[in-house]
Chains A and B, each alone.
Chain A
């Protein structure tokens, strides 16, 4: 394994996923979850991963996050092989995973505590983040007093509190209603435009994937693999109305056809 340390000659990718395979042990034969995944992601790039349920997209994200190991192949971030969760990374889950027993402010600060940093140093930043996300005045309320959209905004503030370079998002808006999702999409696009964090964004929604990403990775299942990588050349910043343009529609249509050819969607 030691000889596998990745040394790249020129223009090293921020995240480098090399021939990753992931199988789950089962009674009879192991179940392949991911096979032959190769993907390089540049620093400051926004990559959406879209695919059907069971295509292993969440598994892939957990492997990048260092929460799960790969069966073969390697993942490296800044040429460091991922063996444990990297330092400058934060995750946003589909469910907000807020702690009901903590106030909104204390929820935002939990990762600061987990990392053994001083709370006082981050309290001001936490309040500013909450203000940015329209949660002014909710700092001392509890999660169960908030709506679903507000809760997910708190979860995003929590991820941003330590100012991570890498943001991993696992269907973060999947459980929200359409209007709230639009709002959060626009906010995320603005956030990315202003901070240029590296983002991996997993979703079921083709529209959402195209709207946000520099590249959309389309995955197929059985076993989970990359079907196609679609670069999205739509200028930024992107207002929500861009989704009505013909250009946007062409990208969405293309990905739809890809799924249709897998037998997953009926082509219109």
Chain B
């Protein structure tokens, strides 16, 4: 049932995309739009096909920055959430501060990271991590707190140590929230990586977009954006695949509810 609905949904999206691309291609050709304003999709795609090594190298760098930043955010975010839930002091200080600073656009910090960490990979990873950590910490904290009282009573009735309650009850129970945060986090990490490359980069897809703009090479910029879109989608679905594998109980309940 849900499988059929999913494939149907995917087909709809593909059809919409295909129509969009065709309309785009036709308009560029019919109205003779110059390619530095809006290149035709065929030209964009042939740019990628003609320079596979170049795009692979630039993509790999952006993927590297994104995934290292995301991984740091995931580990750091989950540990921070456990600390927040375990200690009311950390809750009142660190978590309050975190929620308060959540509304600041973190990309504004990018130039500062360049001052602090130089122009190599480090500042880009740092920006990716700092943007991605917010949704992960907040979602995980909410998940760790949203516990069924009976579960806690069950653990208390057997005088379970606090660590057991955290690792065997609260944390597994919060995993769906951790994944919800991670799915937002991976998209944020990609944004962070691109912003980092915008601010101070010598490689990566963000750098490609920036240098293409300087030379009015819109085709190259569009090609890089297209690759980014594909990469972002793949990374998102990779997280979802891990979720499906780790939380079959949750995924099955979710598809039942959606029925």
Partner-B contacts on A (CB < 8 A)? 62, 65, 67, 84-85, 89-91, 93, 95, 97, 99-101, 110-111, 113-116, 142-144, 162
B160 contacts the other chain (CB 8 A): yes
Report the Cα distance A119→B164, complex, angstroms. Answer: 15
Known: A97-B151, A142-B248. A89 touches B168 (CB 8 A): no
Report the Cα distance A65→B158, complex, angstroms. Answer: 10
Report the Cα distance A143→B253, complex, angstroms. Answer: 12
**From A89, A95, A101, contact of B157 by CB (8 A):** A89
Closest chain-A Cβ to B156's Cβ sits at a distance in Å of: 6
Q: Once the chains bind, are B159 and A95 in contact (CB under 8 Å)?
A: no
Q: Once the chains bind, are B154 and A91 in contact (CB under 8 Å)?
A: yes
Report the Cα distance A97→B150, complex, angstroms. Answer: 7
Closest chain-A Cβ to B65's Cβ sits at a distance in Å of: 33
Q: Once the chains bind, are B158 and A114 in contact (CB under 8 Å)?
A: yes
B169 contacts the other chain (CB 8 A): yes
Report the Cα distance A95→B169, complex, angstroms. Answer: 16
Report the Cα distance A89→B159, complex, angstroms. Answer: 11
Q: In the complex, which residues 118-163 of chain B have their Cβ closer than 8 Å to any Cβ of chain A?
A: 148, 150-151, 153-161
Q: Output the nearest chain A residue to B148 by Cβ-Cβ distance.
A: A97
Closest chain-B Cβ to A178's Cβ sits at a distance in Å of: 24
B244 contacts the other chain (CB 8 A): no
Question: Which residues on A sit within 8 Å (CB–CB) of B169?
Answer: 99
Question: Which residues on B sit within 8 Å (CB–CB) of A91?
Answer: 153-154, 157
Closest chain-A Cβ to B85's Cβ sits at a distance in Å of: 18
Name 24 interchain pairs, CB-CB below 8 A, sorted by A.
A65-B153, A65-B157, A67-B153, A67-B156, A85-B158, A85-B159, A89-B157, A90-B157, A93-B153, A95-B150, A97-B148, A97-B150, A97-B151, A99-B168, A99-B173, A101-B173, A101-B247, A110-B154, A111-B158, A113-B168, A114-B161, A115-B158, A115-B160, A144-B249
Question: Which residues on A sit within 8 Å (CB–CB) of B175?
Answer: 101
Q: Once the chains bind, are A113 and B157 in contact (CB under 8 Å)?
A: no
Closest chain-B Cβ to A109's Cβ sits at a distance in Å of: 11
Interface size in chain B (residues, C-beta < 8 A) = 24
Report the Cα distance A90→B159, complex, angstroms. Answer: 11
Report the Cα distance A143→B250, complex, angstroms. Answer: 12
Question: Which residues on A sit within 8 Å (CB–CB) of B158?
Answer: 85, 90, 111, 114-115, 162
Q: Once the chains bind, are A114 and B172 in contact (CB under 8 Å)?
A: no
Known: A65-B157, A67-B156, A111-B158. A144 touches B150 (CB 8 A): no
Closest chain-A Cβ to B179's Cβ sits at a distance in Å of: 13
Report the Cα distance A111→B156, complex, angstroms. Answer: 10
Most chain-A Cβ atoms within 10 A of its Cβ — which of B154, B247, B248?
B154
Closest chain-A Cβ to B32's Cβ sits at a distance in Å of: 60
Question: Which residues on B sit within 8 Å (CB–CB) of A111?
Answer: 154, 158
Report the Cα distance A99→B156, complex, angstroms. Answer: 15
Report the Cα distance A244→B238, complex, angstroms. Answer: 60
Q: Once the chains bind, are B249 and A100 in contact (CB under 8 Å)?
A: yes
Report the Cα distance A217→B203, complex, angstroms. Answer: 77
**From B155, B247, B250, contact of A114 by CB (8 A):** B155
Q: Once the chains bind, are B250 and A100 in contact (CB under 8 Å)?
A: yes
Report the Cα distance A97→B157, complex, angstroms. Answer: 13
Question: Which residues on A sit within 8 Å (CB–CB) of B173?
Answer: 99, 101
B101 contacts the other chain (CB 8 A): no
Closest chain-B Cβ to A169's Cβ sits at a distance in Å of: 12
Question: Which residues on A sit within 8 Å (CB–CB) of B156?
Answer: 67, 85
Known: A101-B172, A144-B252. A84 touches B159 (CB 8 A): yes
Q: Output the nearest chain B residue to A94 by Cβ-Cβ distance.
A: B150
Known: A113-B168, A114-B164. A62 touches B153 (CB 8 A): yes
Question: Which residues on B sit within 8 Å (CB–CB) of A113?
Answer: 164, 168
Closest chain-A Cβ to B253's Cβ sits at a distance in Å of: 7
Q: Once the chains bind, are B249 and A101 in contact (CB under 8 Å)?
A: yes
Q: Output the nearest chain B residue to A168 by Cβ-Cβ distance.
A: B157
Report the Cα distance A106→B8, complex, angstroms. Answer: 38
Report the Cα distance A93→B151, complex, angstroms. Answer: 10
Question: Which residues on A sit within 8 Å (CB–CB) of B155?
Answer: 114
Question: Which residues on B sit within 8 Å (CB–CB) of A65?
Answer: 153, 157
Closest chain-B Cβ to A223's Cβ sits at a distance in Å of: 23
- Binary contact readout B34-53 vs A (1 if CB under 8 angstroms, 0 otherwise): 00000000000000000000
Q: Once the chains bind, are B157 and A67 in contact (CB under 8 Å)?
A: yes
Q: Once the chains bind, are B159 and A114 in contact (CB under 8 Å)?
A: yes
Besides the contacts A62-B153, A67-B156, A100-B250, what 11 more A-B pairs have beta carbons closer than 8 Å?
A: A85-B157, A85-B158, A90-B157, A91-B157, A113-B168, A114-B155, A114-B160, A114-B164, A114-B168, A142-B248, A144-B253
Closest chain-A Cβ to B180's Cβ sits at a distance in Å of: 16
Most chain-A Cβ atoms within 10 A of its Cβ — which of B155, B158, B247, B252?
B158
Question: Which residues on A sit within 8 Å (CB–CB) of B164?
Answer: 113-114
Q: In the complex, which residues 182-234 of chain B have their Cβ closer than 8 Å to any Cβ of chain A?
A: none
